[in-house]
Amino acid sequence: MKVIKQLQVKFVYSMILIEMIVFAIIFVSLNFIITRREYQESKTFLTYLVNNGGHRPKPKPHGKNLKPIDFPRYTEFEDIDATSSASREHPEDLLRNIPSFFRPEYEDKSNLRNYFAVRTTNEGEILEVIQDFPLNYTDDEIESLVREIITENEKFDSIGGVMYCVSQFSETEQIICLLNRNSELKTLGKLYIYSTLLYILSIILSVLISIPISKYMVKPAKEAFIKQKQFIADASHELKTPIAVIGANIDVLESEIKDNKWLAYIKTENKRMGELVKDLLYLAKNDAGRNELTFSEFDFSNAVENSVLPFEVVAFESGKTLEFDIKKGIICNGDEKSLKQVFIILVDNAIKNSENGAKITVRAYTEGQKIIYKVHNTGAGIPKEELEKIFLRFYRSDSSRVRKTGGYGLGLAIARAIATDHGGTLVADSEQGKWAEFTLTIPRKK
């Protein structure tokens, strides 16, 4: 069932990730377009305002676009640098340079904007305040704004929500057109807040919707997985009886037929088949959550010694060396029987999958509240790409060697399942051509 849960979680994560990306693109693009358009409209309005001597521009009789009025003393809008030939463009040329997607279809909405213009000397002395309606600014505020603009020495910029444009009116005078954008900026601020809240709400709704959808999507896989596990469990259980009967009959035949090699072959294969069925039944029960582990305190150090000491003879006969480095007095709370099975699997695996003359080291020690059991062996090692695959059921890294040493590729899968049941981990590490190491880590208390 863990596989189904992982599949469901990945499905939910994938849906949420896709929706987050899509919604982010939509909201960011929408906010960018609206902000860009408002900025360009404000800039365009200032452009026309400058070219009409600081007064509200007059619309064409039939169209939306405004035609700038040429004044004798001022015919060109100097946007950034009065000495730059590139900046001396006609306002309509300036608009033409704006991408068509962001180019505003200008309308006379000046009655909704708080704008005015100030004619000053080149030194910044105010000569005239040009206005089309009563202002919300006092003389002191206007003087302060003009002083700050002159200090900034920028031809086009914003100060405190007021966008301004400075242009040379004559050789000794300049005109400063100002447009209050505070209302627009507040509206944009609210738009950003609402967009963010809507984005968060969309993600929350996506999570709530994707959970039941994921259950519906993985339902066929879940049913097939359950049927497969049930079949393996039932088949394994049913095979136990005939295997036991065959074993009993072989024992009877051995008493009557002495030293028969064919009977010995049958007995060996029947024993291997019994071990395979036993392992399959354990994994099937573990998948179904029906393995009953008995947790109790026991001496972890003694359990390791009792499990691996019998392998000294096996290692010696194989031309290999088995060494121990076990810390005494380690107390663990877990299922002693199943953990001993892990100790045996890892040592047996190290002996079978190492060459003659290999050195196998078994270590057991503690780190904080964790107990660590390591089995290290010199030899050919394991390729990096197979360090996780070897824990898969029936996976064989080297089929010819495995067939020679026996086994079906279930031992490491069982060992990892036991480690997981104890709230721990079992990992492999290796340097190919030099060594391989398996590390079991479990908490002192689950």
Task: List helix spans (H) across 52-130.
Answer: 91-96
Specify whether the CB–CB gap between 177 and 162 falls below 8 A: no
Q: In sequence order, what are the residues at sequence separation of 6 or more whose Cβ sits closer than 8 angstroms to the Cβ of residue 196?
A: 27
pLDDT of res. 57? 60
Residue 77 phi/psi, 5° resolution? -95, 115
* Residue type for position 393: R
Which tokens in the block code for residue 216?
């519906």
Nearest Cα residue to 305 out of 321, 318, 323: 323
- Residue 32 pLDDT: 93
Tokens for 13, please give them.
């994560």
Dig out the tokens for 222 from the structure: 């879940």
Weakly modelled stretches of the chain, pLDDT under 50: 60-92, 94-96, 98, 100-112, 399-403
Q: What is the pLDDT of residues 20-42, one digit of tens each?
A: 999 999 999 999 999 999 888 88
- 387, 430 contact by CB (below 8 A): yes
Q: Which residue has the tokens 């499990």?
A: 307
Provide the 3-class DSSP secondary structure of residue 270: helix
Distance CA 208, CA 349 (A): 46
Compute the distance between CA of residue 270 and CA of residue 370 in angstroms, rounded to an integer. Answer: 40
Q: So what's the pLDDT on residue 160?
A: 82
Q: How many CA atoms lie within 13 A of 389 on its CB side?
A: 9
What tokens appear for 8 in the block?
Answer: 């469901």
Q: What was the pLDDT predicted at 307? A: 92
